Amino acid sequence: MTARLKIPFDNSFAQLPDQFYTRQDPVPVTAPRLIKVNEDLATLMGIDPDSLKTEDGVQMLAGNNVPDGASPLAMVYAGHQFGGWSPRLGDGRAILLGETVGIDGVRRDIHLKGSGRTPYSRGGDGRAWLGPVLREYIISEAMAALDIPTTRALAAVETGNKVLREEGPLPGAIITRVAQSHIRVGTFQYHYSRGDKDALRTLANYVIDRHYPEAKQAHPPYRTLIEMVMDRQARLIAKWMQVGFIHGVMNTDNMSVAGETIDFGPCAFMDTYHPGTVFSSIDHAGRYAWAKQPGIAQWNLSQFAQSLLPILHEEAQIAVGIGQETIDEFQDIFSNYYFEGFGKKLGLITLQPGDPDFIGDTLKLLSDNEVDFTLFFRHLTGFARSNLGQDQGTQEQNYKQKLQKLFKDPEAFNNWLPQWQSRQNQEKAPPEERLETMRTSNPIFIPRNHQVEAMIQAAVAGDYGPFERLHSILSAPFNEQPDNARYEQPPKPEEIVHATFCGT
């Protein structure tokens, strides 16, 4: 580990006018210690992963040293939080060091989260404790392995400092996260609320150049920008729901215009399926429940469209009409992604007119019978494989019994199964294609909340073994891993996590 630290920075956001950020270095910490470096991601970004493990590398990841070529800054934005308007938020505990263009040609931000106070901290200490850092590392990387667009974890370090939370003093940590950008709906809202039309145009043009260059050919380009952001968000939310993921805090300042999952707080994956499941202990009204995420996404996008009204058209009334007409398309776009994805989970390659109703009835059956979401689709995939003679080592009856045991009323499953088989028989795609579609749509392993919490508790006590093992398992979520079968299982009653907070 003697490689000299060298980050191939190629910064663009820092070249924008200063109303988009405040230039600031990270706040140093006392005794940083490396937890983990994401070697594959570092290599993809054109960074020598061994260099991040050196003393210089760890000091950079902790915010103690600013590397050559960096342009550290805290981004400013606003947002609706649980529906309430906050006119000035911003990076209150994070610093954007700069950007790299990877060996794959993709531009990515390097962002230190938990790196100290900024002008946007609003009374907070600007720090993060170890638990949320490890949660974000594990879940963001699990999302990437599930092929869901997401910010990612490049590295994590302990700081050697304690941070004070309601639970008392806790070990501090910093995560280095990576995104195609950290620009949010709230970034646009900030400049719209200030009546800064020039800033809106500058920001919109920057986002088009960076994320949606095809929009430059359109007239007007800003309507196309809304359409393209909306399409990515519709696809993203559908993908979340197809693995039972609940974000927990879908505020407008937590919605990336690049279409990536961002800001992992009180998020989790459902165990028992219920459309009203919530994973934020402060979301008393269930605003961000699993089934409400599409509606919230549309509402957030309407705020995005509103922020662009001053540059959509010179006449305000026409601009409003353009924005409303565009946002009204969201539900159809989302529904296409949603039903296509759930169809694949059931082995339905080409959707037929009655399939949305069948999918809806299937989900209601799971809810009525309090069925584990992931295990149902996992065992159904095994049943399909056995049923079609593709897995000689597993008997069809074995998987049928596993499925029946998931249901409070096994007879309800027995009544549903012939309907599914009848629909399968109408498929023209060969069995091999249907099976592969189910296999790659139905993960065996997800970061179950109780396992994540157990991992955090072990790490706080100084044992990173569970963290490493969970990370390894989740890096191959669709693969059979007999030695790790216990990680497939839902929590026992005493293991259920009843309180989930942002905690950062």
Which 3 state secondary structure label does DSSP give 85?
strand
How many other C-beta atoms can be found within 10 angstroms of the C-beta atom of residue 84?
A: 8
User: Virtual CA dihedral for 245, 211, 121, 97, nearest 10 degrees?
Assistant: 110
The two three-digit tokens of residue 360, written as one number:
């809806």
Which 3 state secondary structure label does DSSP give 245?
strand
- The b/e string for 200-210 (b: 16+ C-beta within 10 A; e otherwise) is bebbbbbbbeb
Q: Which of 91, 109, 253, 283 is catalytic?
A: 253
Is 253 in the active site? yes
The two three-digit tokens of residue 392, written as one number:
């000689």
CA 412 – CA 368 distance, rounded (Å): 10
DSSP 117-166: --TT-TT--SBEEHHHHHHHHHHHHHHHHTT--B-EEEEEEEEEEEEEET
Half-sphere exposure of 417 (CA within 13 A, CB side): 20
The two three-digit tokens of residue 370, written as one number:
């309090």
DSSP 376: H
The set of catalytic residues is: 253
